[in-house]
């Protein structure tokens, strides 16, 4: 293999939890504040999309901000900006993308919890 491919395989993160669509997660992301300062930002929401394409793996987290406005953010799984991903609960889902949650609010936007023993 070429050196470029070997370097790409070395950058894959090993310490990530197993993610599924419908999981309720907290993502700790480093963001730049000003020119030199960095701080950790926490995004908590539901995974509505998960792409598993080798080095370009990504997932989209949807959360409800103030006044009931939905906010979606897409993260690269192998990004050095991601500090930590915590999985809080799993949900029973039958679809690979949960785009139907965009039109729902309140109790109809809840997903049934999948118990893991």
Sign of CA dihedral 28, 17, 77, 10: positive
- Secondary element (H or E) of residue 6: helix 3-10
Domains, in order of start, for the chain: 16-106 (2.30.30.790)
pTM: 0.84
How confident is the model over 32-89, as pLDDT tens digits?
Answer: 998 889 999 999 999 999 998 878 899 999 999 888 889 999 999 999 999 999 999 9
Phi, psi of 14 (to 5 degrees): -105, -25
CA 27 to CA 1: how far, in whole Å?
34
C-alpha closest to that of 26 among 76, 93, 88, 90: 88
């Amino acid at each position: 293999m070429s050196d470029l491919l070997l370097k790409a395989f070395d950058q894959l993160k090993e310490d990530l939890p197993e993610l599924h669509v419908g999981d309720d997660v907290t993502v700790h992301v480093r963001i730049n504040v000003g020119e030199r300062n960095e701080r950790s930002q926490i995004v908590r929401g539901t995974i509505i999309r998960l792409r598993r394409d080798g080095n370009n793996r990504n997932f989209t987290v949807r959360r409800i901000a103030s006044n009931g406005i939905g906010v979606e953010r897409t993260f690269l799984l192998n990004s050095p900006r991601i500090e930590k991903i915590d999985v809080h609960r799993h949900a029973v889902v039958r679809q690979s993308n949960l785009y139907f949650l965009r039109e729902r609010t309140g109790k109809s936007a809840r997903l049934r919890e999948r118990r893991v023993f």
